[in-house]
Structure 1
Amino acid sequence: MEAASMIVLMMVAVASGLVAIEVKVECNVLKVQQKKTEHFPQFHILFLQPLVAAVDGQPSDAAALFEKASQSIKVKKYSEALENLNAAIETDPGLSEAYWHRASILRRFCRYEESEKSYKKLLEMKPRNSAAEKELSQLFQAQSALDSAKSLFDSGDFTKALEFIEKVVLVFSPACSNAKLLKVRLLLAAKDYSSAISETGYILKEDEDNLEALLLRGRAYYYLADHDVAIRHYQKGLRLDPEHSELKKAYFGLKNLLKKAKSADDNASKGKLRLAVEEYKTALALDPDHTAYNVHLHLGLCKVLVKLGRGKEAVTSCSGALEIDEELIEALVQRGEAKLLVEDWEGAIADLKSAAEKSPQDMNIREALMRAERSLKLSQRKDYYKILGISKTAPMSEIKRAYKKLALQWHPDKNSDNRAEAEAKFQEIASAYEILGDEEKRTKYDSGEDIDEGMGMGGGGFNPFGGGGQQYTFHFEGGFPGGGFGGFQF
């Protein structure tokens, strides 16, 4: 404060040749005493204002404001720097360096129209300034890149849009909040959720109350199925703005999804299978793009459909789960079970074998694989029940009636016009009755065991018309209708 007093006294001496003013500071109050006021009655008014400004620590001259802005730029406090540059320009409209710095900062914030005006003002003051002209050209490139990124985003070309937005964020306008948020939206669209979380983290570090960053970061966690963290981001945003439409939609949409999924799981565990099916389908329809969570809904639906015996639908649901996660062992097992229901034996074996390779110690999978292999083997032998046209629960009396009827129908002596076909058909009928007409053989056949005689099991088959001297006798009580065949022999 003493230094300030000395400056005033020296200036007075230069102006008048007299040391006539005494300046004192008492309790932070300036006191000016004039000894010969008749020679310079207005002197204290001329010098008091700059002195007061200096005491308050708020320099009002353009150079000091520019220097303060420069210091703010060094520590990346660009908003603060912009305020000081605006004040410097207002104080001294001819300060070209202030226009240059302001133009550069405005470009960083992608406030391109304002930035362009400052560059052009600078070039009016310093025509053909190559550095300024280069920066103005870069501004136009940045503006073009941002416009292209927006257009490509709208058209769905997310990869190309990211290339343009990277130029904006990394090169031309690194402080551009709009460009950063667009980049996050592009990352979400490209399903790069981890990168979206990182980018929004940087934004929120600078502005922890940025509502759009909270929304987008919440969505990234949501699509990673980290629902608790997603909800916390939505809730923070809604505390700042309870009526934010997108935050409300995201928050209540997630709560509804979790509610539906839990209800489906609960009903499945309680045995309310048909109700569970409808709730799983409803939950899946809420957000088909939420693959990280929908994989579990697809699997839950598949398991319930298998229990209900709805094999075709179950195959579709399990395939949906495996499209998302092809390594999901339980989905492979359940799809194998579903394929058994639709008699896709080879498909079932393929799924169960793949599951067994992934989990070789799981005996339940090995047992399911053995069932599938046995089912395939059974499917490759002749269906004697089908040949005789009877159900698998038919009593012995029905088996005999069916055999007698078909044997009469296809007896070669009664089919002279198509004897070869009749002989083949008659042979099948005889083979079927040879097994199903014997209680012990029928039991073995039903359980999937091989029959020693090899009839229909790939061992050459039964042929009443073949060589080798073996004869088969067919007896029909009362003979054939019309007489003549009380008992016949081949």
Structure 2
Amino acid sequence: MSLVGFSSAMDVVAWRGIVYTIFILHFVFPCQLLLLQPLVSALDNNPGNAAELLERVSRSIKVKRYSEALDDLKTAIEADPTLSEAYWHRASILRRFCRYEESEKNYKKFLELKAGNSAAEKELSQLFQAQSALDTALSLYDSGDFTKSLDYIDKVVLVFSPACTKAKFLKVKLMLATKDYSGAISETGYILKEDENNLESLLLRGRAYYYLADHDVALRHFQMGLRLDPEHSELKKAYFGLKNLLKKTKSAEDNVNRGKLRLAVEDFKAALALDPNHLAHNVHLHLGLCKVLVKLGRGKDAVSSCTEALNIDGELLEALVQRGEAKLLTEDWEGAVEDLKSAAQASPQDMSIRESLMKAEKSLKLSKRKDWYKILGVSKTASVAEIKRAYKKLALQWHPDKNVDNREEAEAQFREIAAAYEVLGDEEKRTRYDRGEDIEEMGMGGGGGGFNPFGGGGQQFTFHFEGGFPGGFEGGFPGGGFGGFNF
């Protein structure tokens, strides 16, 4: 090879070396510096760099960027396994998220490096308290002691582990169990602000709206969750369960409007059976059922349904009125008056309630008067002749002269029989009695209210029967009559 050729080859090699050097300086070194800067800073034992990293961690924690803080702490610890402050920060963050086992390891590592640190020892003690409280709260929830479980979550777990998702969801479930639906909505709202696609929060928040009978909003939450996960079993169950409830309710109401009352009764009962715990909706189902049963004349069943509604909402005026009407059907006059009087006091301007109350009071008053038809053993449609025959028969049967061995009872029965005939045997008095007028207040007897067929210092009556008594007792009973009565 000539000297010229050799020189040219050497020039090419030299230029290649220069190019590689430039590449290393302008690409590889900058990449290394970017990727390894945290490690270099931590490893060079420069207190300024460590302090700057920990300050960045503190800033991340303040704005709740916990993932960034944990990444920085991981980098720092990998760079310098003796950087005690990093372990303490990481232990604190993990405790907030109730990642207790990992947190405990980091506290213990810090205490190995900084033995006797009272602040760290205190935080480790708090970790154990929170861990124990969470386990206790879960056990109490399973056993049905919701109030006590909620105390453990609120007063211990979320104090020491405020970012614990498991505790937050348990708290929402406890609020639902204790019927604090507004509280459950607020708690899930905070979770959804951080993660708007959180399925558990959408489910629980939808349930809270459901139990407040805000069904449209509940459906929207269930639908939103199902769009994210169409196969989510709990969301599907909640969504289709609510749709079925609304369908049954509408069917019941439609049948009422169409006059198909018996079908409406079945629909109301079917809707109530779907979720006995849905009180905010069931109160209206019970009321609707009660009203239909009143129309059907099923007083006893109607009383039961209206009572169920009032057990849920004791101030539901319409249920009180309907129960009063139902008690009239069962002839519970006093109960009807009591319910309708309470309703009238609650709504003094409602004339329909006052009319119902007057009707109940009249029925109560009538129930306490003598039933002359029953005493004579005749129907309310009996003719004058039937009434007269019944009286003659009973008067003969209970005449005291014929009942020497039970004279007192016979006298009492005879008075009742005579008083009954005094009213029913007179067409005008009978008409007024049938209208519900108080015959006794007009000066009539009434069996002890002033009427005394035996004299006793009072007015004496003489009854004359055409044809005499059956059996030939014409002109009086054997023995010369009784007490001034001539038959």
The aligned counterpart of 2:279 is 291
For the residues of structure 2 that align with 1:480 and 1:459, how far apart are their CA atoms? 25
The aligned counterpart of 1:485 is 474
Query: Does the 8 A contact of 1:65 with 1:87 survive in 2?
Result: no
Go from structure 1 to structure 2 and tell me whether the alpha carbon gap of 1:101 and 1:453 turns closer, same or farther (over 3 Å shift): closer
The aligned counterpart of 1:247 is 235
Number of residue pairs matched? 454
Query: Does the 8 A contact of 2:38 with 2:76 survive in 1?
Result: no
Residue 467 (structure 1) aligned to one of 452, 456, 459 = 456
Query: Does the 8 A contact of 1:382 with 1:456 survive in 2?
Result: no
Residue 31 (structure 2) aligned to one of 28, 52, 61 = 52
Residue 174 (structure 2) aligned to one of 176, 186, 200 = 186
Q: Which runs of 5+ in 1 are unaligned?
A: 1-33
In the TM superposition, residue 172 of structure 1 has moved relative to its aligned partner by 0.6
The aligned counterpart of 2:353 is 365
Q: Is 1:431 the counterpart of 2:419 in the alignment?
A: yes
In the TM superposition, residue 471 of structure 1 has moved relative to its aligned partner by 3.4
How big is the alpha-carbon RMSD for the aligned residues of Structure 1 and Structure 2?
Answer: 2.6
Q: Which runs of 5+ in 2 are unaligned?
A: 1-13, 43-49
Q: Is 1:398 the counterpart of 2:386 in the alignment?
A: yes
Please list the CA deviations of residues 258-295 of structure 1 after superposition, one character each: whole Å capped at 9, or x if unmatched.
11112112222222222222221221222121111111
In the TM superposition, residue 48 of structure 1 has moved relative to its aligned partner by 6.3
Go from structure 1 to structure 2 and tell me whether the alpha carbon gap of 1:425 and 1:191 turns closer, same or farther (over 3 Å shift): same
In the TM superposition, residue 57 of structure 1 has moved relative to its aligned partner by 11
Whichever residue aligns with residue 155 of structure 1, its letter is S
Please list the CA deviations of residues 288-332 of structure 1 after superposition, one character each: whole Å capped at 9, or x if unmatched.
211111111111111111112222221111111111111111111
Residue 295 (structure 2) aligned to one of 282, 289, 307 = 307
Residue 91 (structure 2) aligned to one of 103, 116, 132 = 103
Query: Does the 8 A contact of 1:407 with 1:429 survive in 2?
Result: yes
Q: Is 1:201 the counterpart of 2:155 in the alignment?
A: no
Go from structure 1 to structure 2 and tell me whether the alpha carbon gap of 1:476 and 1:459 turns closer, same or farther (over 3 Å shift): closer
* Alignment map for 1:113-124 (pairs within 5 Å): 113-124=101-112
Query: Does the 8 A contact of 1:381 with 1:458 survive in 2?
Result: no
Q: Secondary structure of 1:391's match?
A: coil
Whichever residue aligns with residue 284 of structure 1, its letter is L
What is the TM-score normalised by the length of structure 2? Answer: 0.86
Go from structure 1 to structure 2 and tell me whether the alpha carbon gap of 1:107 and 1:385 turns closer, same or farther (over 3 Å shift): same
For the residues of structure 1 that align with 2:416 and 2:384, how far apart are their CA atoms? 18
Please list the CA deviations of residues 74-105 of structure 1 after superposition, one character each: whole Å capped at 9, or x if unmatched.
32111221122223323333322222111111
Q: Percent identity?
A: 76
Go from structure 1 to structure 2 and tell me whether the alpha carbon gap of 1:125 and 1:47 turns closer, same or farther (over 3 Å shift): farther
In the TM superposition, residue 232 of structure 1 has moved relative to its aligned partner by 0.8
Residue 148 (structure 2) aligned to one of 130, 139, 160 = 160
Residue 218 (structure 2) aligned to one of 218, 222, 230 = 230
Please list the CA deviations of residues 321-348 of structure 1 after superposition, one character each: whole Å capped at 9, or x if unmatched.
1111111111111111111122222221
Q: Is 1:137 the counterpart of 2:125 in the alignment?
A: yes
For the residues of structure 1 that align with 2:425 and 2:443, how far apart are their CA atoms? 15
Query: Does the 8 A contact of 1:400 with 1:437 survive in 2?
Result: yes
Residue 455 (structure 1) aligned to one of 420, 444, 459 = 444
For the residues of structure 2 that align with 1:269 and 1:454, how far apart are their CA atoms? 51
For the residues of structure 2 that align with 1:344 and 1:211, how far apart are their CA atoms? 53
In the TM superposition, residue 251 of structure 1 has moved relative to its aligned partner by 1.1
For the residues of structure 1 that align with 2:405 and 2:28, how far apart are their CA atoms? 131
The aligned counterpart of 2:80 is 92
Whichever residue aligns with residue 400 of structure 1, its letter is K
For the residues of structure 2 that align with 1:390 and 1:232, how far apart are their CA atoms? 67
Q: Is 1:325 the counterpart of 2:313 in the alignment?
A: yes
What is the TM-score normalised by the length of structure 1? Answer: 0.86
Whichever residue aligns with residue 473 of structure 1, its letter is T
Whichever residue aligns with residue 119 of structure 1, its letter is Y
